[in-house]
């Protein structure tokens, strides 16, 4: 985002969090200029848009011992190990 902030004319950047389909609708109606998402555009969305992978990052999942056995905790930890974290 640094290059966008170094242009000759001032740029306003507004961050919004919402469902991807709603953000893409804003893109289609020109109320948004750019959508950065954590998932590619789904084929069921009828918005003409391009999807480019910009990079990746590792995440860590931490929990108190009392929460470790809860549903999904083991699967999340396993996914983290498989991703190399």
CA dist., res. 78 & res. 85, Å (int) = 10
- Report pLDDT for 85: 47
CA dist., res. 56 & res. 26, Å (int) = 25
Cβ contacts of 59 within 8 Å, gap of 6 or more: 80, 85
Token pair listed for 36: 């950065």
Task: Indicate the pLDDT class of residue 21, thresholds 50, 70 and 90.
Answer: confident
Q: What is the pTM of this model?
A: 0.52
Token pair listed for 57: 């990052």
Query: Where is pLDDT greater, at 24 or 74?
Result: 24
A 10 A CB-CB count for 41 gives: 17
């Amino acid at each position: 985002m640094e290059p966008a902030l170094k242009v000759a004319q001032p740029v306003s950047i507004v961050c919004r969090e919402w469902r991807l389909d709603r953000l893409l609708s804003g893109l289609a109606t020109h109320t948004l200029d750019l959508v950065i998402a954590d998932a590619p555009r789904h084929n069921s969305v009828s918005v003409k848009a391009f999807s480019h992978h910009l990079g990746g990052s590792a995440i860590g999942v931490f929990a108190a011992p009392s929460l470790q056995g809860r549903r999904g905790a083991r699967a999340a930890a396993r996914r983290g190990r498989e991703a190399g974290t």
